[in-house]
Homo-oligomer: A and B are copies of this chain.
Amino acid sequence: MQPKTQKIFSRNALLVFSGGQDSTTCLHWALHNFKNVQAIFFNYGQRHAIEQTSAVKIAELNNIPLKIIALDFFSQIGSNALTDSTLEIESKAGELPNTFVPGRNLIFISCAASYAYSLGITDIITGVCQTDYSGYPDCRQDTISALAKVISLGLDKEVTIHTPLMQMTKAETVDLAIKLNALKSLAYSHSCYEGNYPPCGQCPACILRAKGFKEAGIPDPLLTRTTEV
């Protein structure tokens, strides 16, 4: 439901939505701050259909339009551990982890901006976060700020990219989610690299998520939910 309280912005916004913890929290941030919210999900050949299932379920729960885009570019160009299930997920000291999909956020946000343009929307929201950024350079504020500039130039229209979680720890993100009544949605959000429900609990994404909930002092609603998607 789009809440009826006073919004900060009288405009509409488009959320780049992965069905994960961060973008789900951003969805609730957007619902509280913008007049109307739409979301865009990229099926980019990621290992697991569960991400799309999560995104669809959470969009339905909150009654927002969700545009699903099939973007198999990354599987056409080659190997990274998030789109190639034959690769083990690994991270070597001093190198970017092999879950790094080069240019992923640049391409997703540029595509989102193109879709937003067709909708007359100039506010884009992404859940990227540099505090816990896993070594991905396209999650940093300087990259996102530069991207907002190039999109505004390229579309000849002032576009803002909102990054509400950019400077937050995962615990602060959980606190924000509590404040925004996002826990029901978070019960369906997916983080695990292995794509299982219940999540594996062992991969970097599971460990980061668990740490956040532990520090915030509440159980992860994903682990205690009683209904299937």
Contacts and interface: CB of A to CB of B under 8 A. Distances in A.
Interface of A: 67, 69-74, 76-79, 96, 101-107, 110-111, 113-115, 117-118, 137-138, 140, 142-143, 146-147, 149-151, 153-156
Contacts of A111: 73, 77, 103, 107
A152 to B, nearest CB: 9
A187 to B, nearest CB: 30
- The A interface is mostly helix, strand or loop, or mixed, namely helix
A165 to B, nearest CB: 18
Given A106-B110, A107-B107, A111-B73, A138 B118 contact: no
The count of identical subunits is 2
B143 A154 contact: yes
A146 B155 CA distance: 13
A138 to B, nearest CB: 4
Interface centre among A72, A140, A146 (most CB of B within 10 A): A146
B156 A146 contact: no
Nearest to A118: B78
Contacts of A103: 110-111, 113-114, 117, 151, 154-155
A78 B69 CA distance: 12
A200 to B, nearest CB: 28
Contacts of A155: 102-103, 137-138
B137 A106 contact: no
A70 B140 CA distance: 29
The 9 A-B pairs at the shortest CB distance, nearest first, are namely A103-B114, A138-B154, A137-B156, A146-B150, A102-B117, A143-B153, A102-B114, A106-B110, A106-B154
